[in-house]
Amino acid sequence: MERYVGFYIEEPVGNNVFSYDERTNKKIFVPKLIKGTLDDVSLGENIVFNEIDEDTEIKAIGLKNLVQYEIDGKVVYIFDNHNHAFYFWMKSLHEGLFNKGCRLIHVDQHKDMRKPDDYTVDLDNLNDVFRYTNKVLNVGNFIQPALKKGVFCDVDIIDSSYGFDLKPEGEYVLDIDLDIFSKDMDYIPYDFRLNKIKELIKGAKVITIASSPYFIDQEYAIKVLKELFNYDII
Range of the domain at 88: 65-228
Which alpha helices (H) appear in the chain, and where do they start and end?
84-94, 126-135, 143-148, 190-203, 218-228
154 within a domain of the structure (yes/no): yes
| Residue pLDDT, tens place only, 118-158 | 999 999 999 999 999 999 999 999 999 999 999 999 999 99
Q: What is the mean pLDDT of residues 50-60?
A: 95
Cα end-to-end distance, the chain, whole Å: 34
100 within a domain of the structure (yes/no): yes
| Residue pLDDT, tens place only, 68-125 | 999 999 999 999 999 999 999 999 999 999 999 999 999 999 999 999 999 999 999 9
Please, what's the b/e burial string for 104-113 (b: 16 or more CB within 10 A of its CB; e: otherwise)?
bbbbbbbebe
40 within a domain of the structure (yes/no): no
44 within a domain of the structure (yes/no): no
> In angstroms, rounded to a whole number, what is the distance separating the alpha carbons of residues 82 and 140?
8
30 within a domain of the structure (yes/no): no
214 within a domain of the structure (yes/no): yes
Instruction: Return the pLDDT at 232.
Output: 57
Domain CATH code at residue 134:
3.40.800.10
Q: How many domains does the chain have?
A: 1
> In angstroms, rounded to a whole number, what is the distance separating the alpha carbons of residues 140 and 105?
16
